[in-house]
Structure 1
């Protein structure tokens, strides 16, 4: 039997795009003479429809689209995902179509309800080992925990979260029913190193259940925040039959492999994958996310306030690497078609270019940068910004904002009848510089119908080390899901491994907001605490969910007790008072195994007791 999985890049409620990708996948699978094709979870409407799943009209529309899809399914079995809403209850289902006939709907039994997942808000769990009938548009269909049969092979489903439930997963019940093939359509979000866990989950299931296992994940930045790696795994009795390249820029990645289900491969120990390189994994994920966000938002490019510091430098490199990776995989013509960044005449000219020359030419069409200096800016950061922009081909503007800062400062000094000084008004004088930078860079974004990139990182978000309506301004915040320590080491890696020589300047600088007078030699870590320590406190507090006392005890010995005590107290104070900022950050990608975005991974009250009692007990 030839099994096929198709990772497809869907968009919520984009019926034309979604059905086009489904049709392409079916055509490619049929051309490969596949017997069974699996498409990802919720592939008709998109997994990220959120509260639209509670609307009656959505499931009705999906069902009408399903009736269109079934007419394409001749000489093949196709498994396609959609919501089915019965008596005001919505189920997450996989529909099985054989030769144009709907055989039934398998409903998901376990719903993801941790981290970034809120499935119980929209869906209800199906009771195991039950099947019922329902009527839709004049026809009666079966829905539930169904075992299907095709060409003498018994197959059934685990839908995404079903497979993550250890001893209670449906696979155990399938094994008792003689199921030989388990199919898993998923929308399993990306996180660095997660693919290793998922690989083991699928491979060990094929071994433990003595079956063939077909796993298919969603692909791309579907709805704005979550990224899907498009993983396809075909396994049998612990043997890896086929695994694809992840994080593809294709709209459809259809993969096929031949397996003998009736005379399977012998039972073996699961082969171990080589260690995951998180530096490579990060850039593969974030560039795909940026590419999809650009084209799905129908924007024409990116605008970036390039300060010469680590965060903005990383954002610039992401755009350049996005161009490199996308063109390398899908070709110049498809890249231009999807981004609409060149005229036909320009495409003809650009097609004569290659390598870095082509990359820089495309970046010049997609990325506008500006260095907005003040009297507190250093020559080093200007050089860092200018040289990086030049090295990747970005448009680079340079202007100062001292006049605007002086104007606002003068107005306020006039009405309060006193001068503002660094001794008494430090935060005010810092923040006005950051805020004054926003209007000009927004103007460039508006003029060019481009996305303004915010440069916040997770470490800064945790402690509110950002000026609202200043450096937080933006349409998308691509690096808000990773910490500052990771960013700094990644930039060094990118200079050495990816050849971004323009990063040599930023890699020699200490992170600084450059908002105080230069003679004060301001640095981020003096304002806050060492970034590695900040990240350790953050992870223990909100990933491991420890109390302040437990965090302090866990970190004892990593630095002097007095420094640790001060840092823990400062972290919790800053965290608590800055939740309102985290509520207002630009949308960000989920990249690590956790984040501090209250709209995805971590909710916290805007007003709280601020851990006062807990922190006081530390001494």
Structure 2
């Protein structure tokens, strides 16, 4: 008798235990109708991932217990493998439970608890101590949870206990290049132990994290036999026997493999597509899951706001996105024209609210206090804060979230105004360096030309003083961005970066700017994580430091 297995790759809401349980019950009913024998869900299905300190609240585990009881009572005729926190002797465990016809056939506790990058699992969970292998329709099935498969021992334990197939439940967040890493790793584990592997991943945005889905299955030779969609819910159905009999060659379904060796620094077309889709999904789920009515953002005619507008429209639809032009005495006609053109191309409603009256009022109010001081960046910041007030007022009045438009390069060196252009609820391109902003804009234009060509070719400028360009205050981005990547993402020292051929004085200047602007980043809105070291959960530096 064959065994039909299905991975339910779902987009779940953190801590909506009742709603998540209903998704499980509905998926089980559909699986039974489709004659599926084994239905697999992602890691921590019932709580979503990561529930963070909600796990410290006893009420959450009580809700999970009630949900498990309900699933046991309502789901029949199909074996379920799903994740949830289990309060047991010794503490709280991250488990994969196997349920069928009212019974819990077994519960596997995650053995390796990640405590690096965006993960804090040792704060909440106790580690499991060994494998769990169950017989299902004559097939020996072992269980694994996320980090376990990145370590050799849990897979080896399962194989030693007789497993023929390993089911791995995951909540693996996206970053550039992550899909290839996980597929290569899982294929290696399959070959090492001659196991078929089913890798079930979560999909969806959760605060700054994006889970890209891409669930897949390999046979015992490490050949990928099936894939689920990326960045979307999906049901991946397959015959287990196809994974146990080593195939003569790969059978690829869904997305093809990306070109080997592609990196975030020189992304190929598929890499750019994945980065862009991650940004879109992150914005969509943050806005919708938090109940906002849409989005509002300032349109300057520059590249950052143009890309952010395109992402917002692709995520939410043009009818719930509004662009606001806020010209000052320094805003060029070209900027206004480009802002209006990109909004028109995307079908977005705009309004124009000039900041000159507010700017003049603030200058007049502050004139006595500023007596004897020359004009400097203070007056530039006042303009940015006038715009922040306008945009926040629009957000408050309409119930639409304010999307900020700052990029990673600006956030790194503090080239942004606190309570001005940093004001807002979510920062879609917060983890996108400036040069990647341009590449993503070109990628989006290859799908449809929504960003005017002049926006892509003109020198970037904040337009807060006459004839201003970014390079008045910053090194050229082709020099700045690589230095930032090495310092922030690779943890290289000034000496190590300079040894790569970068001017040492430029490196010192850039790293000093990064270090002294931690206080600004701590007050910045959250944004989508697409790199392996984003500002936020990834990088927790002290504000006050003598480093």
- What per-residue deviation string (whole Å, max 9, x for no partner) do you get for residues 161-207 of structure 1? 11112xx3311111222210100010000112211111112223222
Q: Equivalent residue of 2:216, what SS?
A: strand
Structure 2 contact 283–528 (Cα < 8 Å) conserved: no
* 5+ long unaligned stretches in structure 2: 260-267
| From 478, 503, 516, the counterpart of 2:428 | 478
Q: Equivalent residue of 1:566, what SS?
A: helix
- TM-score between both structures, scaled by the size of structure 2: 0.93
Task: Give RMSD over aligned pairs.
Answer: 1.9
Structure 1 contact 28–254 (Cα < 8 Å) conserved: no
The equivalent of 1:157 in structure 2 is 143
The equivalent of 1:492 in structure 2 is 442
Counterpart-to-counterpart distance in 2, 1:537 and 1:218: 34
Instruction: Trace 1:410-425 onto structure 2 (pairs within 5 A).
Output: 410-418=364-372, 424-425=374-375
- What per-residue deviation string (whole Å, max 9, x for no partner) do you get for residues 546-577 of structure 1? 222112112x1x5xxxxx22221111211121
Tell me, yes or no, if structure 1 residue 210 matches structure 2 residue 194. yes
| From 123, 139, 157, the counterpart of 1:173 | 157
| From 496, 514, 517, the counterpart of 2:463 | 514
Deviation at 1:25, TM superposition (A): 1.8
The equivalent of 1:608 in structure 2 is 545
Tell me, yes or no, if structure 1 residue 371 matches structure 2 residue 325. yes
Tell me, yes or no, if structure 1 residue 70 matches structure 2 residue 51. no
Tell me, yes or no, if structure 1 residue 596 matches structure 2 residue 535. yes
The equivalent of 1:233 in structure 2 is 216
The equivalent of 1:42 in structure 2 is 44
Task: Return closer, same or farther for 1:26/1:543 CA change in 2, 3 Å cut-off.
Answer: same
The equivalent of 2:245 in structure 1 is 264
The equivalent of 1:577 in structure 2 is 516
Structure 2 contact 225–243 (Cα < 8 Å) conserved: no
Structure 1 contact 56–85 (Cα < 8 Å) conserved: no
Structure 2 contact 224–250 (Cα < 8 Å) conserved: no
- TM-score between both structures, scaled by the size of structure 1: 0.83
The equivalent of 2:475 in structure 1 is 529
Tell me, yes or no, if structure 1 residue 544 matches structure 2 residue 490. yes
The equivalent of 1:294 in structure 2 is 287
Structure 2 contact 461–470 (Cα < 8 Å) conserved: yes
Counterpart-to-counterpart distance in 2, 1:586 and 1:235: 40
- What per-residue deviation string (whole Å, max 9, x for no partner) do you get for residues 482-512 of structure 1? 11110012212322x1112443231122111
Task: Return closer, same or farther for 1:63/1:156 CA change in 2, 3 Å cut-off.
Answer: same
Task: Return closer, same or farther for 1:313/1:262 CA change in 2, 3 Å cut-off.
Answer: closer
Q: Equivalent residue of 2:435, what SS?
A: helix
Structure 1 contact 6–232 (Cα < 8 Å) conserved: no
- What per-residue deviation string (whole Å, max 9, x for no partner) do you get for residues 258-314 of structure 1? 131796134768989232622111121111222212211111110011111111111
Counterpart-to-counterpart distance in 2, 1:117 and 1:7: 21
Structure 2 contact 18–67 (Cα < 8 Å) conserved: no
Deviation at 1:92, TM superposition (A): 0.5
Task: Return closer, same or farther for 1:54/1:396 CA change in 2, 3 Å cut-off.
Answer: same
Q: Equivalent residue of 1:460, what SS?
A: helix
The equivalent of 2:227 in structure 1 is 243
Deviation at 1:12, TM superposition (A): 1.4
- What per-residue deviation string (whole Å, max 9, x for no partner) do you get for residues 201-223 of structure 1? 222322222122111101111x3
Counterpart-to-counterpart distance in 2, 1:268 and 1:367: 47
* 5+ long unaligned stretches in structure 1: 129-144, 324-361, 559-563, 612-619
Q: Equivalent residue of 1:439, what SS?
A: helix
The equivalent of 1:321 in structure 2 is 314
Q: Equivalent residue of 1:376, what SS?
A: coil
